[in-house]
Structure 1
Amino acid sequence: MNSVDQLLSKPFSGLAHTEKLEVKRLGPDRPDVKIEQSAKDRGKAYTRTFSMVWYEKKTWLTGSIAKRSLFCFPCLLFGGETAWTKTGVTDLKHLSEKTKRHESCKSHIENILQLRMLGSVNIATQLDDAYRRSVMRHNEDVDKNRYILSKLIDCVRFCGAFELALRGHDETEDSLNPGVFRGLVDFVSSIDSAMELHLKNATVFKGTSKTIQNELLDCMLTVTREIIVEQLKCTDYVAIQADDTTDISTKTQSVLVYRYIDERYRIVERFYGFSDLKDSSAQTIATAIMEKLHKVFPEDCHKKKVIAQTYDGASVMRGVSGGVQKKVAEVYPNAHYVHCYAHQLNLIIEQAVSNISQARVFFLDISGFCTFFSRSPKRTAVLDEVSDSRLPKPSRTRWSYHIRVVEAIYRHREALRTCFEKIIERRTDFEGVTVHEAQGFIRTLKEKEFLFFLFLFNDIMPHVDILYNQLQKRDIDSVYVQKATETFIKCIGRVRESTDNLEAKFPSEATFSGRNANMNTLNRLAKEVCDIIVTQAQERFAFTNHLEGAKLLQSDLFQTHGQSFPNEALNATVQAYPMLNKERLRTELSIVYERPEFCSSSGAISLLKLFVENNLEEAFSETMQLLKILITTPMTTAESERCFSTLKRIKTFLRNTMTEDRLNALAMLSMEKQLIQEIPDFNTRTIDKFASLKNRRAQFVYKLSK
């Protein structure tokens, strides 16, 4: 905006007042102009070149790279000598004389004065005491209005943080259901005399209308996004998480989450916004994602900062030739695709169950227990008589449900048997179907096949639960994931070795239900289940090239790496991330492997903190870059799932009164409330945005008296 070429193509006089003020704020553009002038002195040829020191000598001087000439910034804006405003000056030999002569020019001095006074009231007015008093009164009114608006912003923030509906069904003065926002405003007025006086006497701006609420929400969303964008521009690497779902209003929604390391070396995942999608095709989803990315990373040089993208395992997302990840990678070449590892775990268990019919039947049986009690309060009442715990409610969408059911039936199998026997004893109080099902469940609890798989999966599921919880954490990295999955595989291996001892746990009355069933067959099936889980875990958790770097910083391998350096992992890492210096990284890692104090780190995050706390960022610069890459790479899409759960809660609470323009703002206030609390001037920035939206009858902008 303040460059010579821009001002020549679009004259300063044709700019809007706000644009003129912005040009004044930016000041003269000072590029390194390539001006050369050949000359001879006493028969010796030499070349003069322009030095940027001239900018320090003459603050009004500016230059044009395209024209390769110098200009006067104030005269360029308001008009003056042609040489300094149109053609430009290129005579370096006489530049000192030309600048002195130009500085003495009347038009130049007037232009400087005019530029300095731009945006200020004239001198005569500044000296007028009446004007000063009016400015003082104006600023006092602004103080009051900004105070009231700040309180209204606090009320909106409260509603957003707790996902409460702002508006009620009837917002009249004597309404009994004015909504949470009006209720909060009334409560604040009861303890704040300034707010109470404002609500009683306000004629121009009251601040409780739907329009004001929407404008405040828009401003708060804009301010929060600006903070997130500022952090994204300051961080070294960024990863994106995206997913899509259908909300309760049957609209397809896409969510975008950024993952990065902030200025305090914390790994953060920031919600950026929901988008409406016309369909769930790869092209539509990829277009929605890249539109948001382009707003944050408009320059090609910034696109290299995007080093990872993660989605669930749907083919439309992970497709190698036409999936979303492929389309994003074409624009952001360093954005390597990572399949969500929590989703991978679900697929591993599903594979183990679906391949073995007896295991599949077992999980249908345990679901039947939960369904039996969930359909009748009378049945549940009998269970409460004999047990202090209930079975989980049926839900086949999450494997955590199966984990809880297996554990509950294993722990309370005797209580369940007693409960079914009581139902049979009280057969006159229950329907015939209930009694018949209770008899069937008693037989099931005596079957060796059912008990065998119950004990088997009771040994397996705790390890699944531990790994699932580890993979759902927000602050995990690829080093942590690799160690956790290796531990999981070892634990499943130990369970496999102990399957021969499961028969000893059976009650004496346990019998086989089928002719062909025997312990040899069950032991073979148990080992097969464990083998499938281990094989699938090794395949699905196998790290691709861009995750090989995790092996370089896995602390339990440091001693081995010290004896034999992992060159293959290093080559794969540098190939995936060409911004790393291979030779220096190798040298730094060799030192890390040799030092015993580094071997106790639990993951990449703890190692990064160790370098930072001991001021080793510069000494281990390449290792720091690798650590940041590994930490920034998301191993789960847990945050996008949290966003969707928030989306559905907001839509459920507000479906009758909410328009789409409120959705992103309310979701942002809910999910990023900690970030908003950390912004010290959040209310002030929101008020400034609110004041700049349009000309308002109430005053929110201060005036300067001098």
Structure 2
Amino acid sequence: MDKYLIKKPRTQDSSPVQDSSPVQDSSPSSKRSRVDFNLENLPSDPGLRQKISSYHPNNHDEIRRYYLGKGPCRPPHDYPVSYFSGKPRRFRVEWYENRNWLEYSIAKDAAFCFYCYLFGKGVGKQGGGDTFVTKGFRLWNQVGKLDSHVGGVNSAHNQAVKKSEDLQKEEQHIQSVLVKQSNQDKANYRIQLNAIVDCVRFLLFRGLAFRGHDESQDSSDKGNFLELLQFLGDHNESINEVMQNTWKNCKLTHPDIQKDMVNAIAHETSKAIIEDLGNGFFSILVDESRDISVKEQMALVLRYVNKQGIIIERFLGIVHVASTTALSLKCAIEGLLCEHNLSLSRLRGQGYDGASNMQGDINGLKTLILKENKSAFYVHCFAHQLQLTLVAVAKNHINIADFFYVVSNLVTVVGGSCKRRDALRDAQFAKIKEDLENGVRRSGQGLNQETNLKRPGDTRWGSYYGTILNLILMFSAVVDVLEIIEEDGLFDQKVEARSIMRVSKQRLQVMRDDEWTSLLTEVSSFFSGRPRRNTQQNTNLHHYRVELFYTVIDMQLQELNNRFSEVNTDLLICMACLNPSNSFVAFDKEKLIHLAKFYPYDFPGTDILALDSQLQNFIFDMRNNDLFLELQGVSELAEKLVSTRKHETYPLVYLLVKLALTLPVATATVERSFSAMKFIKNELRNRMGDQWMNDCLVVYIEKDIACSIDNETIMQRFQNMKNRRRQL
């Protein structure tokens, strides 16, 4: 055949197609390079999306279902101003009303059509042509064009809307037409799916693994999911009958089905959190840590005041970051917020640890965000500040550093082996038993618990404090163990034990022989109030009171002052004026007005004048209202304002209260999320994918929200995620 046919030379395009430049295709028959995609990485911002036509046709419906499940991108945002003929104009949130197709791009400051992007083809010049799909609409002075885009009944826009409705109607799909399902089949499918949801919920809420080593029918190690499903069937005849009569390839037990179900629950949980936040402002708590597979993960928590006036911290998600630079973290934060229809413009606080990439004044994460939003004030976690301050002082004061050096050596010597730990435990037990018999100690539930010595950690002052407390409680037992080591231990151990014992005994002996008189004189002088004169001796009281206590306190105060910026100090002082304790004794109108000026977006000039009047009426009302006399803390004030509907009477004052509560002071919630991550992704589950781990964490951490979501909502989302063989 080759001599009768002339082959055309094949042209291969060796240049890869970049995600940022979609392929332009003027001829439908021309060959095009297709853009690879991952549902996890599809951008939420309409201004950053690829054209649907740039993806392979086989993937179009999957991408459309993904976006339909998320809905139009409508992040609450402080929309920037553009000028038309010298007049300021901007996008307005009121334009969303009666326009379920309209979405907004923060990246391009432009409006887009949700349905025309998903299903629009060849719109020509109708309704603005391709503007609402690729370029974006920005003519804020010509709002009428938003309605003209919709057009008539048979317009390209309305046809796109109709196609989206058809895609979500399972009964119209060709698969549903070819394979008819009876009502009984649908009822059985619902029973089966409902049982699957219950099993998935049970495992997620307890952080248990799903898979087993051998999931065959006769295996004794099928895994938690299959065994729990079988257990449900054994105790429920209807579930057992459905599972036994279901086709082998429709059992809904495949790992992909499990992941889809978990993803559906996680999406509904996150959706409930975002709905609880509403259009309000929020703060973010961010930290980074490595998981068991040595991948750097960034966890993000939202802090906000809900509609009931309750301060809430919710885990939003965890993101794998290849780089921990400030710019990379900022991009990851923006992407995660945009995925949930949130905007950095609504940010009113940042809470991180003290890492340089977080709090750096030049290129730190907090600085990059502050450049875009001046009201997103950064507060270094108070717990971290206090711990770092105490640890720094402990290392910089020679006497304290020497003390903890001895304590550390003591813990090492006494607890250096299992044998010594057992000896310490036995000695402490004997001491407690003797004290109980002599009536020195009281017995009861929770008392006289078993304790042990542990080495203090450099970044947790609580570990130093705990070590000292345990050492005080077990001092007699520690001395006994040191004597045992001195007699029976190896040569090096004997030297260490004798050294520690010698220092302690010599110090006690000196105090016994030579310092009683001076100590008595100091105590008498202290309590009588008569100052000592013409004395040069350095007594114990002077040493511990002046050289240690006063010096260390001064060092701590100086260290704390250095760690608080002037802005943070002003914020905290002003916020303290909202404290309702003791009939609002801390109230100061001028400081609260000064606080409002820190948030110019929330309190423009006219609102500052109105706030002055509201504050005067507010404090008079509060001090004469019995319902507000016994309040303790700003959080109780916010709840009481909402429950009595006073937040409607004093909206600007309540706004100040919310801002005060929103500012983050500790990152404990983020720390707990990392603890959960270590529990979910452990050594036996170290190959979990990023999306799979994120979904499991969202449901596990926010199980109280996930519990409130009914099975029907989860099943509907699961059903709409992909084309399913069976319909509800």
Q: Report the TM-score when normalising by structure 1.
A: 0.68
Q: Distance in 2 between matches of 1:245 and 1:231?
A: 28
Partner of 2:533: none
The answer for the alignment partner of 2:499 in structure 1 is 440
- Give the Cα–Cα distance (whole angstroms) in 1 for the partners of residues 403 and 508 of structure 2: 9
Q: Deviations over 1:353-395 (max 9, x none)?
A: 1220121121122222333343312112221222144324325
Q: Which residue of 1 aligns with 2:452?
A: 391
Q: Deviations over 1:570-593 (max 9, x none)?
A: 224323344132233233333444
Question: Deviation at 1:162?
Answer: 1.6
Whether contact under 8 Å (2:351, 2:666) holds in the other structure is yes
**What's the secondary structure of 2:598's corresponding residue?**
helix
Summarize deviations over 1:574-618 as a string: whole Å, max 9, x none: 233441322332333334444435454321111112212222111
Report the equivalent of 2:200: 156
Match of 2:417 in 1: 376
1:83-112 deviation per Cα after TM superposition (whole angstroms, max 9, x unaligned): xxxxxxxxxxxxxxxxxxxxxxxxxxxx9x
Q: Report 1:521-540 matches (<5 A).
A: 521-523=543-545, 524-540=547-563
Greater shift in the superposed pair: 203-212 or 553-562: 553-562
Amino acid aligned to 1:205 = C
Q: Does the CA contact (< 8 Å) of 2:305 and 2:658 recur in 1?
A: yes
Distance 2:281 2:509 in 1: 51
Residue identity matched to 2:426: E
Pairwise CA distance, 1:630: 1.2
* Partner SS state of residue 410, structure 1: helix
Of the three residues 567, 577, 587, the one matched with 2:613 is 587
Contact residue 318 and residue 694 of structure 2 kept, 8 A: yes
Matched residue, 1:66: 145
Superposed CA offset, 1:664-700 (max 9, x none): 0111121011111122x2x222211221222222x23
Deviations for 1:459-485, whole angstroms, at most 9, x for unmatched residues? xxxxxxxxxxxxxxxxxxxxxxxxxxx
Please show how residues 301-380 of structure 1 align to structure 2 within 5 Å.
303-380=344-421
User: Any conservation in 2 of the 1:297–1:303 contact (CA below 8 Å)?
Assistant: no
Q: 1:691 aligns to what?
A: 719
The answer to whether the 8 A contact 1:171-1:178 is kept is: yes
CA distance in 2, matches of 1:71, 1:534: 65
What amino acid does structure 2 have at the position aligned with 1:587?
S
Cross-structure match for 2:518 = none
CA deviation after TM superposition for structure 1 residue 67, in Å? 9.3
Q: Give identity over the alignment, percent.
A: 25
Distance 1:560 1:199, change over 3 A: closer
Secondary structure, counterpart of 1:387 in structure 2: helix
Compared CA separation, residues 648 and 333, structure 1 to 2 (3 A):
same
- Alpha-carbon offset, residue 550 of structure 1: 0.8
Q: Say if 1:264 and 1:559 are closer, same or farther in 2 by CA, change over 3 A.
A: closer
Q: 1:67 to 1:141 in 2, by over 3 A?
A: closer
Distance change in 2, residues 1:391/1:694 (3 Å): same
Aligned-residue offset at 1:194: 2.4
Q: Tell me the TM-score normalized by structure 2.
A: 0.66
SS of equivalent to 1:618: helix
- State yes or no: 1:611 paired with 2:641: yes
One of 428, 431, 442 as aligned partner of 2:490: 431
3-state SS of 1:74 partner: coil
* Structure 1 residue 244 corresponds to structure 2 residue 285: no
* RMSD, aligned CA: 4.1
| Alpha carbons of structure 1 residues 373 and 183: separation in structure 2 relative to 1, 3 Å | farther
Give 2:119's aligned residue. none
Q: Aligned partners of 2:292 and 2:525: how far apart in 1?
A: 48
Q: What is the 5 A alignment of 1:663-702?
A: 663-679=693-709, 681=710, 683-697=711-725, 699-701=726-728
CA distance in 1, matches of 2:403, 2:411: 13
Residue 670 of structure 2 is aligned to residue 640 of structure 1: yes
Instruction: Measure, in 1, the Cα distance between the counterparts of 2:462 and 2:476.
Output: 23
- Listed as ranges, the matches of 1:410-425 within 5 Å are 410-424=472-486
Structure 2 vs 1, CA of residues 77 and 520 (structure 1 numbering), >3 Å: closer, same or farther? closer
- Following the alignment from structure 2 to structure 1, what is the Cα–Cα distance between the partners of residues 270 and 460? 33
Are 2:199 and 2:225, in contact at CA under 8 Å, matched by a contact in 1?
yes
Which residue number corresponds to residue 509 of structure 1? none
Whole-Å separation in 2 of the counterparts to 1:450 and 1:322: 57
CA distance in 1, matches of 2:99, 2:462: 61
CA contact (8 A) 1:239 1:307 kept: yes
Alpha carbons 1:259, 1:632 under 8 Å: kept: yes
Following superposition, the deviation at residue 559 of structure 1 comes to: 6.2
The amino acid that maps onto 1:582 is I
The aligned runs of 1:198-347 (5 Å cut-off) are 198-203=242-247, 204-232=249-277, 234-297=278-341, 303-347=344-388
In 2, distance between residues paired with 1:417 and 1:75? Answer: 92
Further displaced range: 289-298 or 334-343: 289-298
Instruction: Look up the equivalent residue of 2:579 and give its one-letter code.
Output: Q
2:465 is the counterpart of 1:403: yes
Are 2:188 and 1:144 equivalent residues in the alignment? yes
Rounded to whole Å, the distance in 2 between the matches of 1:418 and 1:632 is 53
The residue matched to 1:176 in structure 2 has which SS?
Answer: coil
Change (3 A) 1:67 1:556: closer
Shift of 1:554: 2.6
Q: Alignment partner of 1:688: what SS? A: helix
Match of 1:620 among 650, 669, 683: 650
Q: Does 1:659 align with 2:709?
A: no
Q: 2:576 aligns with which of 528, 542, 551?
A: 551
Do the aligned partners of residues 656 and 320 (structure 1) sit closer, same or farther apart at CA in structure 2, a change above 3 Å counting? Answer: closer
How far does residue 75 in structure 1 lie from its aligned partner after superposition? 5.4
User: 1:488-567 to 2 correspondence within 5 Å?
Assistant: 520-523=542-545, 524-540=547-563, 543-555=568-580, 565-567=588-590
Q: Deviations over 1:172-203 (max 9, x none)?
A: 22222222222211221211122222332321
Structure 2: which amino acid aligns with 1:289? I
1:303 CA drift (Å) = 4.7
1:43-54 to 2 correspondence within 5 Å?
none
Name the SS for the 1:584 alignment partner.
Answer: helix
The residue type paired with residue 393 of structure 1 is K
Once the two structures are superposed, residues 323-357 of structure 1 have per-residue CA deviations (whole angstroms, 9 ceiling, x without a partner) of 11121223334221111111111122012212201
- Deviation at residue 295 of structure 1 after TM alignment: 3.0
3-state SS, counterpart of residue 597 of structure 2:
helix
Report the CA distance between 1:445 and its aligned residue: 3.8
Contact kept? 1:237, 1:305, Cα under 8 Å = yes
Is the 1:239–1:309 contact (alpha carbons within 8 Å) kept by the matching residues of 2? yes
Equivalent pair of 1:274/1:664 in contact (CA under 8 Å): yes
Structure 1 CA distance for aligned equivalents of residues 411 and 150 of structure 2:
82
- Matched with 2:679 is 649
Letter of the 1:74 counterpart: V
Cα distance in structure 1, aligned partners of 2:209 and 2:344? 39
Q: Which is richer in helix?
A: 1
- Residue 279 of structure 1: SS of its match in structure 2? coil
Q: 1:694 to 1:71 in 2, by over 3 A?
A: closer
